[in-house]
Amino acid sequence: MIKNSNTKLKDGIAGGLIYLSATITVAILIVIIGFVLYKGLPGINLKFLTRMWDDVTTVVDVNRNNVTGNNTEAGYVESLGISIALEDEAVVIKSIDNDSPVKDAVNVKKVPYALKKGDVIGKAGSTNFKNITLEEAKLALNEGTGPIKMKVTRPGGGIVPMLVSTIYIIGLTLIIAAPIGICAAIYLNEYAKPGKTLNIIRFAIQNLAGIPSIIYGLFGMLVFVQGFKMSYSILAGSFTLSIMLLPTIISTTEETLKEVPRTYRESSMGLGATKLQTISKIIIPSALPGILVAIILSIGRIVGESAALIWTAGTIAQIPKTLVGSEAAAATLTTKMYWLIKETADLEQASSIAVVLIVLVIALNILSKFITRRFLKKRTS
């Protein structure tokens, strides 16, 4: 009787500790996400999600010929088919007609540069729009009938460059790391024989997984940025992240391959299939859900990485135009967060970027669970 009482007491204490631990874990998660949402949600809007980071000022030529309009509102400029307004002492384009010539504007290099709603007009012809009234701005824009030269600023404050750079790095990293990691896992599970060589390979994989990301960044800077003369670029960052991801992809894929029943292999070989045919036609399709989950989880690692990319991809908020060179340096969402906190102490804007990152990570986790359940249903049906 006493033993039963002691056993129940111990079970009650153990159960209480388990529930307490689970409660603390959930509470910490809620506090972290709640803090980020509290600080970052006010800064999330359409402009934040669709604009470039830096203001872009451009001089454009607009041909005002054959423009008609019957709009009588106060800020309507008939010769250009646009409506303007004063916001914080700046002349802003509020609306654009479908047949407006500003959609066919070209910059000084004669490259098309269509004006958009929200663009700020700083100068038209010889008239500077600083400290100008709305009527004076309309008069300057309507003056004359031929082409007009305009100085236009497209406001920044958006995350488009970092979002695009993050997508580029995700794609490049997976193109490099996924085939190598999957093939390495197939070798370890299907071809390698137990022994010293296999033990050394597994030891190397385990140690690669435990190396801090800052060391990968140092390696990437010394080897790819300086050694191979890639400079700060998305390619150097992708190569560095590929090395970081290999242990994760290899380990997860190998565990998935081990779950494929041995009878699948024996049946395939018994029917006359070669080992390569068995792997490509039987084993990999059966292990595909696990492989896809490994790749999706790797995407989450890429999205959340900053230390390795600061030293290899750079922190410039621009959309990369090439893979290497000065125009290939780019900041991802996480590196821009680091820069904001370190250089400007802008916690609110950094939190807004953090909200986007949290949404991406949650979406990836949901996608991995959806894929797993989808394939499990197919197997059981």
The CATH code of the domain at 160-380 is 1.10.3720.10
Residue-averaged pLDDT of the chain: 88
pLDDT tops 90 at residue 175: yes
Q: Which of 13-22, 286-295, 335-344, 363-372 has the lowest mean pLDDT?
A: 363-372
Of residues 2 and 267, the one with the higher pLDDT is 267
- Asked whether the predicted pLDDT for residue 296 surpasses 80, the reply is yes
CA 244 to chain CA centroid, Å, is: 17
Does 87 score more than 80 pLDDT?
Answer: yes
- Backbone region of residue 314 per phi and psi (left: phi > 0; alpha: psi in -120 to 50; beta: other values): left
- The number of residues in the chain equals 381
Q: Residue 103 — pLDDT band, cuts 50, 70, 90?
A: very high
Question: Mean pLDDT, to the nearest integer, of 286-312?
Answer: 87
Ordered by start, the domain boundaries in the chain are 2-43, 55-154, 160-380
Confidence grade of residue 222 (pLDDT, cut at 50, 70, 90) = very high
pLDDT band at 273 (very low <50, low <70, confident <90, very high): confident
pTM equals: 0.85
Residue 378 clears pLDDT 80, i.e. is over it: no
Dig out the tokens for 50 from the structure.
Answer: 């669709």
- The Cα–Cα gap between 278 and 264 comes to 9
Nearest CA to 82 out of 128, 57, 114 is that of: 114
Residue 111, both tokens: 């490259």
Q: Which residue has the higher pLDDT, 270 or 24?
A: 24
CA 196 to chain centre: 41
Query: DSSP 3-state assignment of 24?
Result: helix
Please name the residues in contact with 299: beta carbons below 8 A apart, sequence gap of 6 or more.
170, 174, 364
Overall average pLDDT of the 59-72 stretch: 74
What pLDDT shows up at residue 64?
Answer: 80
What's the CATH superfamily of 55-154?
PDZ domain (2.30.42.10)
Residue 207 has pLDDT above 60, yes or no: yes
> For a pLDDT cut of 70, what percent of the chain falls above it?
95
Tell me the average pLDDT across 283-307: 87
